Structure formats: structure tokens, C-alpha cells
Amino acid sequence: MNDKQEKIEILDTTLRDGAQGEGISFSVQDKIAVARALDELGVQWIEAGNPGSNPKDLEFFALAANLKLENAKLAAFGSTRKKNVKPAEDVQLQSLLFAETPVVVVFGKSWDLHVTEILRASLEENLDMISETIAFLKEKGRIVIYDAEHFFDGFVANREYALSTLKAAFSVGADRIALCDTNGGSFPDAITAGVTAGLEYLAPLSQTTSVETPLLQETAIKTFCCMDKLGIHVHNDCGMATANTIAAVKAGCSHVQGTLLGFGERCGNAALAEIIPNIELKMGLRCIPHGKLTTLYGTARKIAEITNIAVPDAMPYIGISAFSHKAGMHADGILKTRCSFEHIEPSAVGNGRRFLMSEVGGRAAIAERARKFAPDITKDNQVIVSLAAKLKKLEAEGWQFEGADASFEKIVRQELGKYQSLFAIAAYRVVSEHPTPDAAAYCHAWAKVLVDGRYEIAAAEGDGPVNALDTALRRALKRFYPELEQVRLTDYKVRVIDGKDATAAKVRVLIESTDGVNLWTTVGVSTDIIDASRSALVDSIEYKLIMDIERRFKVYL
């Protein structure tokens, strides 16, 4: 790695390449919200869409003209000019200009196979398409990032031609050149070899090329420095995207592309939520403004919420399991020396440490969780001994708390005498009706709740019995607690605990809830799936109410 390589640029393509992932669909307002979140995180470039192929992206760019971004520049994305069409007459290039973004990202072919078999063009004509497109966009005052599509496959197939496509972009003033592992099939050693060859090939050119561009005028630099130009864009089809990106940075790339949460075409793109902390915390290089790394966890959750997906629990750095400890030996080690089972301090990325409560967790982990409510408690305290015994008994009955922190906190509060119920269900009823074989089935529920000596009754229909009960409960409680309007279920899981009892078996229900900012999980167990769901729903609602009260008054109930 070059000693001068002190800062790594980040280009996030969540709104373009990420939008090509299966099941991902952004509204225009979603795209605005994601762009704001990425800007607050501090990425340098936001590749926001392809105005030449998507009318929704044209609408976004029109609205985005009024966005006041503090850290990022928006980029429109498109291809080089079409074969046998002049740049000024190319409709797709005109749409890039019409988007009026300061930055344009264009991709071109670096693999001779794609040139001859996909474009059906000559190798020389493809070079002209690259250079003429970039020269045209530069003349229009745009910062141009060139994506060398399929570079690494092309480098293996025809080394000299793949490198010549970089020269075609470099010689007319491309501000950045990203080497793309478009198929996602390369290993880190191949990435290192390709980046090294690209740098060596372009280095002599950088000493003789002098081109003034808007980007270079901004930074008061008048000649290109090869180390400041080369970037990396990889996909994850071999599960190597993060490793390949880090290998490219170590080899000399100073511009990194990816999507924050890693979703994108097929198996996805490089996940910037993994790459950014690796670069900053492991490599000692800066890639987002100082102090912004601690917002990574929150930003990832916000974008996941907008996208309507779940952050994988085991995702490095930002998953809820990233700093979770279950084994008693691990928990004990962490409590004595943090680095014994954690590679970084969780707060560095805005995440937190979790001790999973289970029969293998041990009293030390339980005591650590209880210190939130009783700071001086130790693992030998009788309350902790009692909690450990209760936990083992409940888990033997089918309860499981390692994925249900909110329900476990309720048990801890009860044992410590710090639990106060905020409502009670006086009665409830759930009915599923199937009037005739041809009529649509429907469910309805009513619930009677008691709050501070006052009763409230509400009814609701739902897509299923649990949905109907959830809606009726919150409808009744919102008279007393309007903040419940913010809460919604994000996941619902049912597990049969012992299948030998068939339909009479106990079931465990896990419910994940959110208020748009926080995420929590609760559990219920019963031979009645509705009753198990009711138990988890009550815990979820109470957790939200208790958290709000404690934040408001800064006391533990």
C-alpha cells in the first residue's frame, strides 16, 4: 500500500446497483430518504440511478436538484455511446446530461468477449466508444467516473486489451477509473494482480498527461496522480466481495464502490457497512468524516427500514449478533478483558454488546445484563442465582431468550422488583371465519384492556388471527398511549417445540417489532398459538412503553 494513500473515497450505489437486487424497489421518496442517510454518513459519491432507462430515476434527479447535501455528490449512471452513434446524438448520454448531476458514472466493456459477442463491435470501435463518450461528458463540465466492466475477466482473457480500455478512458481525462469484477467470480489474488497491473500500466501515462477538470480544479491539483484515480467495484458471487475490495485497497486503489448493506444483482455487491470499518479501524485510513463511523449501525438500520429488508443478524460490525456472546466462558472472558472475544469495541460502529441468555450463558452474563437496572449486582447475588435457575426451568419448558432480549429484560425487572405493568388484558377473543368454500376467509378480534382503572374495548379485522389481535390491542391502548401508532411488527416466527405431540405440541412464537428507530424481539410459549402470540405481543407493547418512559424521565421502572 502506498504511503501517500491516506484517504479512500466511497461511492455508494445502493440506489442504482442495489435497486437491481431481487425484491428491492425504491419509490422516489425512498430514494430521497436513502440519499439523505448516506450523505449524513459521509460518503463522497452517491450513484443514484440510470435516467436513460428508468423514468422514476428521471423524476428523482429532478427532485434531488433541491437536496442540500453536505458530504456527497450525486451521480447519474449510464453506458458509453451506442455503436455507430455520435455522442452528441446518443439519447442515453443526453439523459445523463439532463439529470444535471455534477458527477456521471459511465461503464464500458473491458472484456473482448463482450465487445465482439455482446456489442457486436470491433475492438477498436469499443475503444473509440469509451474515449469519445468520456471526452464528450468532460466537455460538458462533468466529473466522470469510468467503470471498466468485466475488467478482471477481460484481464485474464486478453490482458493487453483490457489494459488498453483503461488507457482510452485515462487519456481523455476520466476523473476516476473503477476496475469491475462484474461477474463476482474473482479471488483476492486475481484482484491484486489486476490492480497492480493497472497501476503499473497507467503510471507512465500519469507523468505525461495533464488535463484540467472541474474535480481537479476543486482540489487545486493540475495533473493526474494514478494513485488517486484507480477504484474497485466487485460483486459477491463467490462470497469474496469484502475480501476482494480490501485486497484492491491494499494493492493501491483509493476509490471504493459498493452498496451499504451489500444487496444488488444476483448475490449482491460489496457491503460498505463491512468495508468502511475495515478500512478505518483495521487499516488506519480515512474514508468518511471523523466521528461518522459511530453512526454506521443507525444508518444501516435506517436504510434497511426504508428498503423494507432485515439486516442479517450475523453481518459483521452492524448485525445484532456481531457482538453477541452466548457461551458462559466467552461472557466471563469479555467481562474480564474486552478484547478476549471482541476484535473491536462495538460502540466504534454504533453497535452494542449483547449477552445472550440461555442455559449455557452462566451467571456472569446474567449479572452483566442485570447491571442495567442494579449497577452493583454480582453473579453471586441471590437474585442472579434465582434468575439463572428460573432461566434453566423456562428453557426446559420451551422458552428461548437468546433472540428475545425484550422478554428477558421483563424477567430481570420482575426478579429485581423493578417491573411495573402498564396495562392488563381483561379479555380478548379471536375468530376466524370461513362462511362458504367459495367465500374469502377473514379474521376479527376484540380486546378489553385495563389502564389505570379504566377499561377500553376495541375490535379489528386482520389478514390473520394474530394480525387481528395485534390491531385490536393497539387500537384499544392508543387512547392511553398514542405513541403505539409508531410501532409495527417486522417479523413473526413460529416454531413447534416438540413435534411428537403433533397439533397438540407447544409452540414458540418470536415477534420482532420496531418504532422506526429501535428494534426489539419478544417471545411467547403455549400449546395455543394465539395465546403464545398474545404473550409476545404484550411483551412487545410493554417494552416500547417502558423504554419511552425511561428515556423521558431517565429512571428505571
| pLDDT computed for residue 221 by the predictor | 30
Highest mean pLDDT among 21-30, 323-332, 350-359: 21-30
Please say which residue of 272, 288, 304 terminates a domain. 288
Residue 54: band (very low, low, confident or very high) from pLDDT cuts 50, 70, 90: confident
Give the mean model confidence (pLDDT) for residues 136-158: 98
Percent of the chain scoring above 90 in pLDDT: 63
Give the mean model confidence (pLDDT) for residues 84-107: 96
| pLDDT computed for residue 361 by the predictor | 56
- Quick check: 49 pLDDT over 70? yes
Percent of the chain scoring above 70 in pLDDT: 90
Q: Each residue of 502-526: pLDDT tens digit? A: 666 789 999 999 888 888 999 999 9
Q: Is 551:487 a contact under the CB 8 Å cutoff?
A: no
Q: Which three cell numbers stand for residue 408?
A: 428477558
| pLDDT computed for residue 216 by the predictor | 36
Q: Among candidates 331, 461, 313, which has minimal Cα distance to 388?
A: 331
Domain range for 164 is: 9-288
Regarding whether 428 and 284 lie in a shared domain, the answer is: no
Neighbours of 128 (CB within 10 A): 15
> What are the residues whose beta carbons fall under 8 Å from the beta carbon of 499, sequence distance 6 or more?
505
Residue 138, φ and ψ in degrees, nearest 5: -65, -40
Task: Report yes or no on 361 lying in a domain.
Answer: no
Q: Is 17:269 a contact under the CB 8 Å cutoff?
A: yes
Give the mean model confidence (pLDDT) for residues 174-192: 97
CATH number for position 519: 3.30.160.270
Task: Report yes or no on 354 lying in a domain.
Answer: no
Higher-pLDDT residue of 218, 457: 457
Mean of per-residue pLDDT scores for the chain: 88
Q: Is 220 left (phi over 0), alpha (psi -120 to 50) or beta?
A: left
Q: Which three cell numbers stand for residue 476?
A: 384499544
- Quick check: 147 pLDDT over 50? yes
Task: Report yes or no on 409 lying in a domain.
Answer: no
- Quick check: 315 pLDDT over 90? yes
Task: Report yes or no on 205 lying in a domain.
Answer: yes
Give the mean model confidence (pLDDT) for residues 397-426: 86
Regarding whether 428 and 282 lie in a shared domain, the answer is: no
Task: Identify the helix (H) or strand (E) that includes residue 310.
Answer: none
The Cα 229–Cα 208 span in angstroms is 15
Q: Is 186:168 a contact under the CB 8 Å cutoff?
A: no
Domain count, the chain: 2
The Cα 72–Cα 231 span in angstroms is 17
HEC profile for 356-418? Answer: CCCCCCCHHHHHHHHCCCCCCCCCCCHHHHHHHHHHHHHHHCCCCCCCCHHHHHHHHHHHHCC
| pLDDT computed for residue 334 by the predictor | 73
Task: Report yes or no on 406 lying in a domain.
Answer: no
Task: Report yes or no on 341 lying in a domain.
Answer: no
Longest dimension (CA), the chain: 84
Task: Report yes or no on 185 lying in a domain.
Answer: yes
Task: Report yes or no on 293 lying in a domain.
Answer: no
Please say which residue of 288, 308, 328 terminates a domain. 288
Q: Each residue of 334-352: pLDDT tens digit? A: 767 777 889 999 999 999 8
Please say which residue of 288, 311, 340 terminates a domain. 288
HEC profile for 223-268? Answer: CCCHHHCEEEEEECCCCCHHHHHHHHHHHCCCEEEEECCCCCCCCC
**DSSP state, residue 21:** S
| pLDDT computed for residue 390 by the predictor | 86
CATH number for position 137: 3.20.20.70
- Crossing angle between the packed helical segments 363-370 and 382-396, to the nearest 10 degrees: 110
Look at 144-158, 207-221, 427-441, 455-469 and tell me which has the smallest mean pLDDT: 207-221
The Cα 191–Cα 185 span in angstroms is 10
Give the mean model confidence (pLDDT) for residues 142-155: 98
